[in-house]
Amino acid sequence: MSHLHLSVRIDPNSGFCFGVIYAIQMAEDLLDEQGYLHCLGDIVHNDEEVQRLEARGLRIIGYDELRELRDEAVLIRAHGEPPSTYEMAMRNNLTLIDASCPVVLKLQNRIKTSYDKQERIFIYGKHGHAEVLGLLGQTSGRAVVFENLSELLSHELPANITLYSQTTKSTDSFYRIKGELEQRGFQVNANDTICRQVSNRDKDLRRFAAQFDQIVFVSGTKSSNGKVLYQVCQDTNPQTHFISNVEQLDAGWFKPGQSVGICGATSTPMWLMEQVREALVTL
């Protein structure tokens, strides 16, 4: 039985964002219908959830396999895809089940419009990230992706900069970068395309993390948004522990009778946070 008597609560605002809920719902419906489904790339940046869906028949494929695939249905995940993926699907007679997040699609359209107007586009985001590759594709690969201000400043910058952001970046950092560029005399056309479901979590999480002795942050290691939100928790409550699954919990972190808050990324499934809660309650 429990010796530590921890009082444990899951953050009600944590867990999947609507884009991910929608993609997983679509995948589950199709798996029920046909028993298997191809998905281009990890459906969500969470290994535990991917394994759960793979056990139900989800087959994760990459671009090499997509090239060889014919006459099948393929799920496009919430992160979105570049135009080249849609072109390949037409060539190979693939049916695309498009679960691209509406926030990402809107951003893709805005970037394409800027590109058609021949603006010089800079995207604040993570190199190689699925969403960013979809955004770059709108500009035939010509936009410049940067991860921080010093990387941006290492480029030859035009006087007029059109600034965009990956949807899961921090709003504070985005506006800091904009301000810094303006101070240096650049004309900045800033398009804040950060998803409010993600950026509002920032404030919600600070409030949540401040209420507990310890925080357990549950996220896959591949989640960009997980890294950002973990940092937010850590800044608010230094007693924050990052885990990807229940096995990584360490009873040594806790003292008897402490309060523990559990939270996670927009890619962390609720069932996983519930598993962590069960484990903590029995410590």
Catalytic residue among 72, 119, 131, 182: 131
DSSP 8-state assignment for residue 128: T
C-alpha gyration radius of the chain: 21
* Cα–Cα separations (whole angstroms), residue 222 to 4, 44, 70, 189: 32, 9, 29, 31
Active site residue 131: yes
How distant, in Å, are the alpha carbons of 17, 22, 204, 223 from that of 99?
13, 7, 27, 18
C-alpha closest to that of 164 among 142, 189, 147, 131: 189
Nearest to 187 by CA among 217, 165, 157: 157
Residue with tokens 């679509």: 26
Give the contacts of 253 (CB within 8 A, at least 6 positions apart). 214, 239, 241
Question: CB–CB of 42/222 below 8 Å?
Answer: yes
The set of catalytic residues is 131
